[in-house]
Amino acid sequence: MLTDIPGVSGRAMIETLIAGRRSPTALAELAKGRARARRDALTEALDGRFTDHHARLAQMLLSQLDDLTARIIEVTALLDAAITALPHGRTSTDPAANTDATDRSKPTPASYASAVARLCMIPGAGPDSVRAVIGEIGLDMTVFGRHQRLCSGRKYPPAPCSPAAKKAGPKQARATPTSKPRLPRWPSAPPKPTPSSASATDG
């Protein structure tokens, strides 16, 4: 099957269904790349009831998807422009090596692209998450001084990872072949009210 329905293959099949071609074999032939190896399974999956009503709904969903994609591209461009305008700081701590510190601190698209490319090398990081990180902490790391201050300012202090730093929890009792299963303890009944001295003398 297709793992990415709005992808190239899925989009081509949906648009063909909207156009009125409903042959499962012809639709499966629209598969691209690795999806072509699963044409038999696609033919079986595409053999169903798809009416003009479904085509209208599918066209509405595709239009909505295209509109959202355009908005995401627009906002991403605005975000890139705003991040590019951030100060970048000096590239060296040696004052003699930064005689043109004013020029070095000027933002450039190349320096921003370099920062994104380097952060994307972190396992699990991608362009979207990298933009969020840069938008949060900026590009001038000299304002933090040390990486510990950066982590502390973001409320993510580095935690010790050594085995000795881990606290051992209470040990669980091990079951033995002769041990009996422990039954759940039901709450005891509330105590009976004690008769008052006046009522005890009345009888």
| CA–CA dist 25, 91 (Å, integer) | 60
pLDDT at 94 over 50: no
Which amino acid, 86? L
Task: Give a yes or no: residue 41 inside a domain.
Answer: yes
Which amino acid, 8? V
Q: In terms of domains, do 119 and 67 share one?
A: no
Q: In terms of domains, do 60 and 110 share one?
A: no
Task: Give a yes or no: residue 188 inside a domain.
Answer: no
Identify the helix (H) or strand (E) that includes residue 62: helix 52-84
Task: Give a yes or no: residue 23 inside a domain.
Answer: yes
| CA–CA dist 48, 32 (Å, integer) | 21
Domain boundary among the residues 136, 153, 170 is at 153
Positions of E strands within 51-179 = none
Instruction: Name the band, by pLDDT with cuts 50, 70 and 90, for residue 91.
Output: very low
pLDDT at 85 over 90: no
Task: Give a yes or no: residue 181 inside a domain.
Answer: no
Please count the structural domains in the chain: 2
**Mean predicted lDDT score pLDDT of the chain:** 75
Q: In terms of domains, do 61 and 106 share one?
A: no
Task: Give a yes or no: residue 183 inside a domain.
Answer: no
> Alpha carbon of 144 to those of 77, 140, 147, 178: distances in Å?
28, 8, 7, 62
Position 14 scores a pLDDT of: 93
Q: In terms of domains, do 66 and 111 share one?
A: no
| CA–CA dist 44, 35 (Å, integer) | 14
| CA–CA dist 41, 47 (Å, integer) | 10
Highest mean pLDDT among 28-37, 129-138, 193-202 belongs to 28-37
What region does 57 belong to: left with phi over 0, alpha with psi -120 to 50, or beta?
alpha
Task: Give a yes or no: residue 15 inside a domain.
Answer: yes
Name the token pair of 189: 């009944």
Query: For 180-198, what is the mean pLDDT?
Result: 61
Task: Give a yes or no: residue 46 inside a domain.
Answer: yes
Task: Give a yes or no: residue 2 inside a domain.
Answer: no
CB 42 within 8 A of CB 35: yes
Tell the residue number behind the tokens 């998807």, with chain if given: 65
- The domain containing residue 141 runs over which residues? 85-91+101-153
